[in-house]
Amino acid sequence: MRIYGDDFIPRLRTDIEAVPTSYQGKKALLVRDPLGLIEKPLLLQGEILEFIALMDGRRNIRDFQLEFIRMRGGVLVSSQEVEKLLSELDSAFLLDSERYRRERKRLIDEYSLLEVRQAFHAGRSYPAEAKELRIFLDSFFSSEPELPAEIRGKELIALVSPHIDLGAGRRVYARAYQALKNSTVRRVILIGTGHSLHDSFLSLTERDFETPLGRIKTDKDWVRRLREAGVDAVSADDIAHRSEHSLEFQLIFLQHLFGSNFSLIPILCGSFHTVLDKVSRPSDISGLKSFLEVLGLAAKEFDPGTLLVAGVDLSHIGPKFGHEQRASSLLYQAKNHDRLLIGAICKADVESFWQEMKKVKGVFNVCGFSALACLLEVLSGSKGFVLDYDFWQEESTQSAVSFAAIAFEKR
C-alpha cells in the first residue's frame, strides 16, 4: 500500500538539533528534539545519513528509490522498502509531515493552558532543589573579579551574558553577574536566542516563569503592547519558550542576586539570516520597527530599575555546526570576527555589527546575532565594556563555541 504515492516526501524537520559525531569509529548523527516529541536522543548511522541528506521536500518515492539503487551499487530496491523506511522516519517524528504537525499542535494546545512556564532545565543543567541551587550559584561568586574602572561601583543598564552550558561558561557567567552587584532591578527585559524558533522573527509569552528559586511575574501589559506592535514578526504561539535555556539560565542568576520580586519581559529572537543581505539593521525588517520602538519605550519608561539582559553566545565552529574543517583550523578567523562584533557591540553600533555579519555571510554561526542586534537598537548612544571572553572546545566533535560578558553603563 502506497503511503505517499507520487507526492513529494516531506522534508526533515527544521526545529531539531542534528549533531555530527562518531560511533564505533564511524560517522553518525545525534538528533535531539527541543520540542520533546523525540523523547530520547537518536543516533543515526550508515546509509540513512545519505538518505536523509536528500530530504529537501522536492523528491517523491521514485526519486528516493533511484537514489537507494545508486547507493547500493545497482541492487534493486522496491518502492515498498523505501516507503517502509520513510514511515519509520515519520513515526520517529523526524519528518515535517502531517503527523508531526498534528502532534506539535497538540503540544501547543496543552502548553497554552498553563499559566506558568516551568523550569525545563532544573535537574538537568542545574540542581532542582532550591538549597542545592543556591549553593551551586554561590560557587560562581566565590572570588571578586576586577571590573573595568569605568563601571566599577556603578549601576548598569544592560548586560550581555552567555547561554552556553553553565559548567562550560562558568568563568564568564561569574564575570557577567558579578558586575550587577551594585544594580537595582525592578524589571528585566530578557532577550535570548530562540533555538527552536523557525517560523517567525520573535516569540513572546505572557506566562510567568518559575524556577526552584521562585516565581517571577511577567509584565503582561508590556508583552501585549509588544505583540501588537510587532504583530507581523511575532510567532502566533509561544511554544519556543517551553524548553529554551537562553532565558532560563539568566533567570536563576538574577533571582540569586535580586530575589523574585522583579517583573519580566521575556523575548526570544529567531534567525535574521534570511534577511541579512536585504537590510542593514533589525528596524528595517518588516514588523520590527514598531516592535523595537515600543521595546525602547519599555526600557526608558521604567528607568531606573529596568535592566536589559541578552542571553547569547557568539561563534559556533567545527563539524558540529556544519563546517568541514575542525574548529582549530577556524579559530583565528572566528576570534577576529568576534573581536569586530564585540567592538560594534561596545559602541552600540548596530549597523557596523550587521555589516560585519553580512561581510562573512554568517559563516561563523553567531547564534546570538538577532538578539544582540535588537539589543543594540535599544541601546543606541550607550557604551559597553568587555568583562570577559572565552572559547569552549569540544574534543569529541572537534567543534567550539565562543561567548562573552559585556556590561553597559547608564547613558
Cα dihedral 103, 105, 108, 110 sign: negative
Task: Give me the pLDDT at residue 55, please.
Answer: 86
Instruction: Report the percent of the chain where pLDDT is more than 90.
Output: 71
* H/E run at residue 171: helix 170-178
Distance of CA 175 to the CA centre of its chain: 21
**What DSSP string runs through 75-112?**
----HHHHHHHHHHHHHTT-B-SHHHHHHHHHHHHHHH
Task: Give me the pLDDT at residue 17, please.
Answer: 87
**Is 309 within 8 Å of 158 (Cβ atoms)?**
yes
- The residue behind cell 522498502 is 81
Task: Give me the pLDDT at residue 1, please.
Answer: 36
- Taken in order of first residue, the domains within the chain and their CATH numbers are 17-107 (no CATH), 120-409 (3.40.830.10)
* H/E run at residue 254: helix 245-258
Question: pLDDT by residue (tens digit) across 328-356?
Answer: 999 999 999 999 999 999 999 999 999 99
**Is 215 within 8 Å of 208 (Cβ atoms)?**
yes
Question: pLDDT by residue (tens digit) across 48-106?
Answer: 888 888 888 888 888 888 887 887 778 887 888 888 888 999 999 999 999 999 999 99
Task: Give me the pLDDT at residue 278, please.
Answer: 95
Burial grade of 333 (CB within 10 A; 0-12, 13-18, 19 or more):
middle
Report d(CA 295, CA 226) in Å as an integer: 7
Question: pLDDT by residue (tens digit) across 134-158?
Answer: 999 999 998 877 888 888 888 899 9
Average pLDDT, the chain: 92
- The residue behind cell 513572546 is 204
Nearby residues of 229 by Cβ (< 8 Å), 6 or more positions away: 290, 291, 293, 294
Report d(CA 334, CA 315) in Å as an integer: 6
Nearby residues of 275 by Cβ (< 8 Å), 6 or more positions away: 285
**Is 77 within 8 Å of 18 (Cβ atoms)?**
no
Give strand pairing partners of 388.
Answer: 405
Report d(CA 201, CA 269) in Å as an integer: 6
Provide the angle, in degrees to the nearest 10, between the axes of the packed helices 220-229 and 288-301: 150
Task: Give me the pLDDT at residue 2, please.
Answer: 44
Low-confidence ranges of the chain (pLDDT < 70): 1-6, 302, 411
